[in-house]
Amino acid sequence: MATLYGQNLRVWTSLGLSDDAPDARIIACATNCTIQYTADTQDLSHKDILNMFNNPAVSGLRCQVTTEALDVENFSLILRQILNKEPVFIMWDESGGTLNQTPTGDDWRGSGMAYISDMTLNANNRELATLSTTFTITGAVRHDDQTQPSDEDEFINTWGEQIRLVLRKTSVTNAVIAAALQLSFHVSVSLEDSTTKDTSTSSGKWVYVEPTSISYDISSTALVRSGETILSQKGGISMKEAQDMFEMSEGSHRWGIGYATGTNNRDVDEIVNGQAIITSLQLNGPNRQRATYSIQLQGVGAYSLSSNASHANASNNSDSVDNGG
């Protein structure tokens, strides 16, 4: 039997598909996936046992699927799914065929309903943006008959400088983080076991879960001063202004994240926005390196999706981009 390589182990989901569409779509432009099975155990040791060894027994079964991809188009769909606290159907199997997207077995190697419990969007300057997503199965891992998924033949690679963070600079004006180098948007969902004595064990000891809370944080790194000529009329947040905002201990700041175009990549078409407090501001001055600062924000309340969040910016598939401000 031939060796199975990582590119031939792939994940499909129902994310973003309507009722009349195929119920499986590949995670496109994937760079990695991990399927992890774990068992909860309970020690059955008691005083009647004379030896010193533990006696574990399985009390529950769990499964998590983590994917990493260069296609970040599902960003807004994932945020909406988390906001609505709705599970998705997820499947994994060996793949082959056209675009390496055709499952090779008669049944899925594994499948089930899952909540999205973690998502991180990384958008760094002059690097391809990446999207990491964790799906936590609720209930049993099944091995359903396969439905033939449709091929995803349009891949969109997004460069990090095309996704930017904006903050409210004044009471009416938003501005990008000037001379930004890095951006990370992380959403975490706390899940609680919902299994009770009424839960059927006909499919084994699989644990059911449900979401109980949502939190998110944002981090960005930028140059203290870049020396670049900024031609755009759109404003930017400098290190000094970030410090002034941090020292405003009362209240939160409006933020937004979206696709950036135009001169110096400062015209931002927001996908998601909300309120956040600045929890950390760090100035870095290493010898013989550029001085940078890092800002971290913690979300306050719910984030909101913009009306245009259902589509990706058309400029994302362009290899030619403006210089970031």
Does residue 320 lie in a domain region? Answer: no
Q: What's the average model confidence in pLDDT over 100-107?
A: 80
* Domain of 76, in residue numbers: 9-39+60-143+155-196+204-310
Mean residue pLDDT across the chain: 88
- Could you read off the pLDDT of 303-312 as tens digits, one per residue? 999 876 654 4
Does residue 51 lie in a domain region? Answer: no
The pLDDT of residue 227: 87
Render the burial of 151-186: b for 16+ CB within 10 Å, e for the rest: eeeeebebbbbbbbbbbbbeeeebbbbbbbbbbbbb
The end-to-end CA distance of the chain, in Å, is 53
The pLDDT of residue 20: 46
Burial class (CB in 10 A: 0-12, 13-18, 19+), 242: buried
User: What pTM did the predictor assign?
Assistant: 0.89
- Could you read off the pLDDT of 259-275 as tens digits, one per residue? 999 999 999 999 999 99
Question: Confidence class of residue 2 from pLDDT cuts 50, 70 and 90?
Answer: confident
What residue has token string 């501005």? 175
Question: Confidence class of residue 155 from pLDDT cuts 50, 70 and 90?
Answer: low
Does residue 325 lie in a domain region? Answer: no
* Lowest-confidence pick of 3-12, 133-142, 294-303: 3-12
* Cβ proximity of 135 and 65 under 8 Å: yes
Q: What's the average model confidence in pLDDT over 103-129?
A: 92
Q: What's the average model confidence in pLDDT over 158-177?
A: 93
The pLDDT of residue 225: 93
Q: What is the DSSP string of 75-98?
A: HHHHHHHHHHT--EEEEEEEEESG
Instruction: Give the list of residues 6+ apart from residue 211 with CB closer than 8 angstroms, or none.
Output: 82, 85, 115, 117, 189, 190, 191, 192
The pLDDT of residue 313: 43
140/151: higher pLDDT: 140
The pLDDT of residue 318: 38
Number of domains comprising the chain: 1
99/269: higher pLDDT: 269
Q: What's the average model confidence in pLDDT over 274-287?
A: 96
The pLDDT of residue 4: 85
The pLDDT of residue 99: 83
Does residue 321 lie in a domain region? Answer: no
Does residue 317 lie in a domain region? Answer: no
Q: State yes or no: pLDDT of 325 exceeds 90.
A: no
The pLDDT of residue 323: 30
What residue has token string 């259902």? 310
The pLDDT of residue 151: 60
What residue has token string 């004595």? 197
Question: Confidence class of residue 74 from pLDDT cuts 50, 70 and 90?
Answer: confident
Does residue 45 lie in a domain region? Answer: no
Range list of β-strands (E), 97-179: 102-103, 110-122, 130-137, 163-168, 174-177
Question: Confidence class of residue 321 from pLDDT cuts 50, 70 and 90?
Answer: very low
192/314: higher pLDDT: 192
* Cβ proximity of 239 and 298 under 8 Å: no
Burial class (CB in 10 A: 0-12, 13-18, 19+), 88: middle
- Could you read off the pLDDT of 174-194 as tens digits, one per residue? 999 999 999 999 999 999 999
Does residue 130 lie in a domain region? Answer: yes
Q: State yes or no: pLDDT of 128 exceeds 60.
A: yes
Q: What's the average model confidence in pLDDT over 162-171?
A: 92
DSSP reduced 3-state for 161: helix
58/144: higher pLDDT: 58
- Counting every residue written for the chain, the total comes to 325
Most trustworthy range by pLDDT among 139-143, 273-277, 320-324 = 273-277
| Residue 127: other Cβ atoms inside 10 A | 13
The pLDDT of residue 249: 67
Does residue 44 lie in a domain region? Answer: no
